[in-house]
Amino acid sequence: MFARKIILLFFCISVSLATKIEVKALNFYSDENKGESILSGDVEVKRGEDILNAGKLIIYTDKNRKPIRYEATQNPKFKINLKGKVYKGEGDKLIYNVVDDTYEIDGNAYINEPINHQKLCGDKIIVDRKKNIYKIQSKDNKPARFVFDLKQK
C-alpha cells in the first residue's frame, strides 16, 4: 500500500534533438529485456508544448533504452502543436512513432483545431509532422468527416 502512494513517477528521457520528455503516472512497470515500460493511472506525458493524458501508456524502447514508440489507451487525449497551431484530439488508441514523428489515432478518432474551428473525424487519423500530412480512414461505410468554417471577407 505504501508503495502505491509513492509511485507518482517523474522521469525524463533524453531523445534526439535533446528534447525532454516528462512522464508521470501512478503505477510503473518496466521490462528492460523486452524494451517496454508500462505506466498506468493518470498518465501524463509532456514534450515541449505537447501533452498526452491516458489511463495506460506503453513505451517501447530500442536496445539503448531510447523511446521508439508510445501506445496510449484507456481514454487517451492529447494537445499537440503543429506549425504554430494547437490541435486537440482523442480516440480509442493513440500511437506515436518517435523516429517517423507520426501520430496515429485508432478508433473514434477525432482532432480539433479550435482557433479555425477545423475538425477531423474517422476510424483512423494519421498525422505526419515531418511531411505535414493528414490522412483520415474510415471503415464499415462510415464516412470520414472534415468540418471547417468558411470565412467571408
Asked if residue 34 is part of any domain, the answer here is yes
pLDDT tens-place string over residues 103-149: 899 999 988 888 877 888 889 999 888 888 888 888 776 666 656 56
Residue 57's DSSP bridge partners are 39, 72
Q: What is the pLDDT of residue 2?
A: 28
* Tally of structural domains, the chain: 1
The structure's pTM equals 0.76
Place of cell 492529447: 78
Q: Supply the range of the domain harboring residue 80.
A: 2-107
| Residue pair 84/106 in contact by the 8 Å Cβ criterion | no
Asked if residue 119 is part of any domain, the answer here is no
Asked if residue 19 is part of any domain, the answer here is yes
Asked if residue 58 is part of any domain, the answer here is yes
Asked if residue 20 is part of any domain, the answer here is yes
Residue by residue, DSSP assigns 24-63 as E-SEEEEETTTTEEEEEEEEEEEETTEEEEEEEEEEEE-T
Q: Rounded CA gap, 28 and 3, in Å?
A: 11
Reply yes or no on whether the pLDDT at 14 is more than 50.
no
**CATH code of the domain covering residue 97:** 2.60.450.10
Asked if residue 135 is part of any domain, the answer here is no
pLDDT tens-place string over residues 31-75: 988 999 999 999 998 988 889 999 999 999 998 888 899 999 999
